[in-house]
Amino acid sequence: MQTSVQQAKSCAELFEAFKKKRPAVKGEKLIFTGVGGRDVYNITAPFKDDGEWVIAGRVEERHSERSEVIFFVERNGQWQPRPGAPVFALQDPFVSFVRGELVFGGVEVYFDDVDVHEVTSWRTVFYRGPRVNELVPFAKGPLTMKDIRLVDLQNGRIGVFTRPMPVDDARAMIGYTEIGSLEELTEQVMEQAPVLQGQFLKEEWGGGNEAHLLRNGWIGVLGHIACMDEGNIRHYYPMTFALHPETRRHTPIKLIASRDMFPDGPAKRLDLEDVLFSGGLHRNGDGTATLYTGVSDAEAHRIVIEDPFLEYEA
């Protein structure tokens, strides 16, 4: 497993390398009902709550950024809102389990008072509880910081991944720090997390979407790397890397999927056609993993791929 000091590679370089070994598998669209014709995308991987599998998803009108996060359960091959579950005015939900407790969060977006469609700022907010129906707020991230994720560590502490932007003359980078308890998750802690070097070009960016404690104590990170072409055309790719929490050594970024591995479908805008936003990864235990992802900011898909974390555990 390569962990030496590395030079950041561009999205284009990583994509060219990925195409040479891209698996011949195809994803599938998930069907969501009961949301009044709104789009559901940027979903989490399914997680167990009260004995059943639940997905949290971003729900909004095609031409709006005003989003709700709704919890869904599967019924007869379709996902429908879970009766009695709370609904949050958030974007891009995420879940993790920290010391046996459910931690849920998303992005709280602030709009202009005059132009109700103009986004003025945003921040990550966190809730905790024993189950979905008992979630209570407990922390907020710094303004303009998305992609803050938590993970239990072997040493009993809690790993915290951050995404400060900008960092000097770089658009955004991934940071990492540790805390002793959820009560220590403060804005100051998140703002001061040291950044990981050698991951992104200055004009490109990325973030962590989910963190997994691996069998050998490393952290497997599912994330995204993104770039922008002329005309502000965006390209988002699901990626992974592994971090050793004590030494802070980390492996190079590798892509694990691309838009053409999924069925064709609509996009929220023309500049978002080539966007995959990693929501979560379910490790199947048989050498494969199921990636759940938002597609073109309009749909939610999943795909079964080779487990990308196995090489980090070898």
Condensed to tens digits (0 to 9), the pLDDT of residues 225-243 reads 999 998 889 999 999 999 9
The pairing of strands 219-228 and 234-243 is antiparallel
Domain ranges of the chain: 11-313
Least confident of 87-101, 102-116, 247-261: 102-116
Structure tokens belonging to residue 99? 């010391």
The conformation of residue 287, written as its DSSP 8-state character, comes to S
Helix (H) or strand (E) holding 14: helix 11-19
Nearest to 138 by CA among 117, 124, 154, 152: 124
Judged against a pLDDT cut of 70, whether residue 280 lies above it is answered with yes
**pLDDT for position 7:** 87
Asked whether residue 111 carries a pLDDT value surpassing 90, the answer given is: yes
Q: Which residues contact 80 (CB under 8 A, 6 or more apart)?
A: 32, 33, 34, 72, 73
Q: For the chain, how are helix, strand and coil distributed in percent, rounded to 5?
A: 10, 45, 45
Tell me the three state secondary structure of residue 119. strand
Report the chain's mean pLDDT, rounded to a whole number: 95
Q: How many CB atoms lie within 10 A of CB 193?
A: 19
Average pLDDT over residues 188-211: 96
For 87, residues 6+ apart whose C-beta sits below 8 A from its C-beta are: 68, 69, 70
Options 2.60.40.180, 3.90.950.20, 2.115.10.20, 1.20.120.1080; CATH of 11-313 = 2.115.10.20
Please, what is the Cα angle at 224 between 236 and 154, to 5 degrees?
Answer: 170
72, two tokens: 């869904």
DSSP SS3 for 190: helix
Q: Is the pLDDT of residue 2 over 60?
A: no
Residue-level pLDDT at 4: 46
* pTM above threshold 0.85: yes
Taking only the tens place, the pLDDT of each residue in 119-144 is 899 999 999 999 999 999 999 999 99
- 74-98 pLDDT, tens digit per residue, is 999 999 999 999 999 999 999 999 9
- pLDDT tens readout for residues 8-58: 999 999 999 999 999 899 999 999 999 999 999 999 999 999 999 999 999
Q: Which pLDDT band, with edges at 50, 70 and 90, does 191 fall under?
A: very high
